[in-house]
Amino acid sequence: MPLKRHDIAQIRQDYSKKELSITDCLADPLAQFSLWLDEAIASEVNEPTAMNVATVSAEGKPSARMVLLKGIEGQQFVFYSNYNSRKGQQIDATPHVALTFFWPELERQVRIEGRINKVASNVSDAYFQSRPYTSRVGTWASEQSRPLDSKTTLIKRAAFFAAKYIASVPRPPHWGGYGITPERIEFWQGRPSRLHDRVVYELNTQGAWDKCCLYP
């Protein structure tokens, strides 16, 4: 049976659930983000902490993938990953990233740009030990972003490390957290007729946040 063809150029949705006024936005964009994240969680948005992380290689080639936000600590957005992965190598080459959150149920998007660094080892250790046992074993089993000849190889590696670390699983030295210090944060609220609300915060040379509205 042939697949049904869709006219994707005609797929669109009008937004009208909420509006965003610059006068209602908090002075601190991280506080504003926390407010929106709390609303997304309370509204039971699917995967409210999922974010797109965009990195750039040494050659200037972009790459993006979805990861989960694990905290806002010390004015940084924190996630965890394999330091030897493709994203890890690109972060080493270019320590600037862009994050995007999209909560379609609320017709909202948040875009964040900033510098990225590895978090302290003790912070990574604490988070790693909070993960389920199978996830900790899986971290050892996966050589993230490297070619895999078969799923059987991965399963055997997981079994090997499960047998090696029966009671306690240490954090691999090649795995840990990253913290993004934001320099620009934009809040987007969908509105009717594509007249969307956009409020952007930018860090000025004095270390304070300036905010303004943007054309949609």
For the chain, give the mean pLDDT. Answer: 96
Q: Which residues contact 49 (CB under 8 A, 6 or more apart)?
A: 37, 68, 69, 70
φ and ψ of 180, to 5 deg: -105, 120
pLDDT in tens, 173-191: 999 999 999 999 999 999 9
Helix pair angle (133-141, 121-130), 10° resolution: 120
The reported pTM is 0.93
Percent of the chain with pLDDT over 90: 93
Domains of the chain as residue ranges with CATH: 18-213 (2.30.110.10)
pLDDT tens, position by position, 67-111: 999 999 999 999 999 999 999 999 999 999 999 999 999 999 999
Q: What per-residue confidence (pLDDT) applies to 1? A: 55
Q: Which of 93, 85, 98, 84 is nearest to 54 (CA)?
A: 98
Residue 194 among the catalytic residues: yes
The amino acid occupying position 159 is A
From the candidates 131, 136, 194, 198, which is the catalytic residue?
194
At 200, the pLDDT band (50, 70, 90 cuts) reads very high
